[in-house]
Structure 1
Amino acid sequence: MAERPTTSWREGIAREAEQLAVGTLDPGCACMADLYPDALLVATDAVLDSFDAEVAELDGAEDAQVFAVVERAVLALNAVDDVHSGYETDEREALCDYIDTALTEHGVDVAALTAPHGLGRYELTDKWRDW
């Protein structure tokens, strides 16, 4: 099952907190909690919850339906980023990879979906993505 980016972000926060607690990390070097505030994590997970629920219903869906699910998720993630400014290069790549992997796990051939539209596999979110 695709691992949500928020899972690894939370794990990084926890690791950093442990290192701070035992004194193996200089507090001036701690940044994870600032990079990934709880409000960003909660809002991102809410979008991914909706996306996951919609993807689970895509069995045999036409391309337009799949694109609509991706569009809704990307626009919702745009709104999260507008509020929290939390998606930099690594986060963007992780979110796009999650979308691709979740679709693939539910039987969507992403390369076959995007090719007729003149898109590469990894351009699936580009039309709507601001982050």
Structure 2
Amino acid sequence: MAERPTTGWREGIEEEQRKLDAGTLDPKCACMAELFPEGLITATDSILDAFEGDLPSLQGSSDERVFAAVQSVVLALNIVNDEHNGGAYETDEREQLCEYIDEALTEHGVDVGALTARHGLGRYQLTDRWRDW
């Protein structure tokens, strides 16, 4: 199953905390908890929960229905990003989220490459129409 970016974010926070506790990381260099506050992770997970709930019904669906699911998850992530002053998802996080959406759709039978090609898009432009982050 596609791994949620939030899983890696949580693991990074935990690893950083272990290093702080062990004294192997200078507290001035610790940034994970600040970059990924619990509210951001929880809100992102809630959105991804809803997206994952839609996935089983997308296999064999029309392009419009798949795009509607992508639009819904992206617009919800836009709101979270706005709530964090436009800085919730930086370059790495954007790439992780887009890759997750692509992989999750693929795992549920959506040929993302063919879908985007039918609409004159490159595979990695799947979210661009709605994405502000």
TM-score by length of 1: 0.99
List alignment gaps of at least 5 residues for structure 2: none
**Post-superposition, which runs of at least 4 consecutive aligned residues in structure 1 deviate over 3 A?**
none
Query: 2:109 matched to which residue of 1?
Result: 107
In structure 2, C-alpha distance between the alignment counterparts of 1:118 and 1:59, rounded to whole Å? 21
- 1:17 Cα deviation after fit: 0.2
Aligned residues: 131
After TM superposition, list the pairs within 5 Å mapping 1:63-74 onto structure 2.
63-74=63-74
1:54 partnered with 2:48: no
- 1:59 Cα deviation after fit: 2.1
Question: Which residue identity lines up with residue 74 of structure 2 in the other structure?
Answer: V
2:97 paired residue among 95, 115, 125: 95
After TM superposition, list the pairs within 5 Å mapping 1:1-131 onto structure 2.
1-84=1-84, 85-131=87-133
The share of aligned pairs that are identical, in percent, is: 66
Say which SS state the counterpart of residue 54 (structure 1) adopts. Answer: helix
- 1:19 Cα deviation after fit: 0.1
TM-score by length of 2: 0.97
List alignment gaps of at least 5 residues for structure 1: none
